[in-house]
Amino acid sequence: MTSLAQTSDELQDLYRELILDHARSPRHFGKLPDATHTAEGINPLCGDKLKMYFRIDGDDRISDARFEGSGCAISVASASLLTDMVIGLHTDEALKYFSALVTRLAGVQPTDNDNAGDDINLGKLRALEGVREFPSRVKCATLAWHALNSAIQRKSQPATTE
Ligand code: ZN
């Protein structure tokens, strides 16, 4: 019993390190001049304001991702983890991570028939699961992902061709 608790504490520490690392030195931070899809994420409760940039190629593959803005450590770390993960993914795969993460953070246990969070390995995103204990921070952790979702959903709009 104590060893289990200890293991979980150690994992928590590792995850906290990962979050702090991404918050302190965010990956892919800045504008993406040739972005094809962008979306803003605003979380007024906390004051997080992020802008996400994606370059999505003709085959629906995300070839680059960046973000800028400001927010708390969790929102910035989550956006940084997002950009790290989605580059190279098909938009369908990226959306699977989105729904898996949102499902997990909402504390919903996926059932066998519900593959929203089951068939996907959250990997480093598990670092964000700690916020489940702090419901007000769930919005911080999912903000960038909601922005990713709306950026991708807008793909039906005419793509700008210059
Ligand atoms: Zn926040």
Predicted local confidence at residue 156, as pLDDT: 45
* Closest by Cα among 89, 22, 79 to 55: 89
Q: What does DSSP assign to residue 47?
A: T
31 C-alpha vs ligand 1 centroid, how far in Å? 21
Q: What is the mean pLDDT of the chain?
A: 86
Give mean pLDDT, residues 1-23. 77
DSSP string, 58-71: TTSBEEEEEEEEE-
Range of the domain at 10: 4-160
- CA of 99: how far to CAs of 22, 78, 85, 148, in Å? 22, 14, 14, 11
26 C-alpha vs ligand 1 centroid, how far in Å? 15
* Number of structural domains found in the chain: 1
Q: For the segment 73-114, what is each residue's pLDDT rounded down to a tens digit? A: 999 999 999 999 999 999 999 999 999 999 999 876 555 444
pTM of the entire predicted model: 0.84
71 C-alpha vs ligand 1 centroid, how far in Å? 6
Give mean pLDDT, residues 124-152. 91
Predicted local confidence at residue 119, as pLDDT: 65
Predicted local confidence at residue 66, as pLDDT: 98
H or E element at residue 13? helix 2-24
- At residue 15 the predicted structure's pLDDT band, cuts being 50, 70 and 90, is confident
Give mean pLDDT, residues 37-62. 95
37 C-alpha vs ligand 1 centroid, how far in Å? 23
Q: Which residues lie at CB < 5 A from ion ligand 1?
A: 46, 48, 72, 75, 140
Question: Is the pLDDT assigned to residue 161 strictly greater than 60?
Answer: no
The CATH number of residue 123's host domain is 3.90.1010.10
140 C-alpha vs ligand 1 centroid, how far in Å? 4
113 C-alpha vs ligand 1 centroid, how far in Å? 33
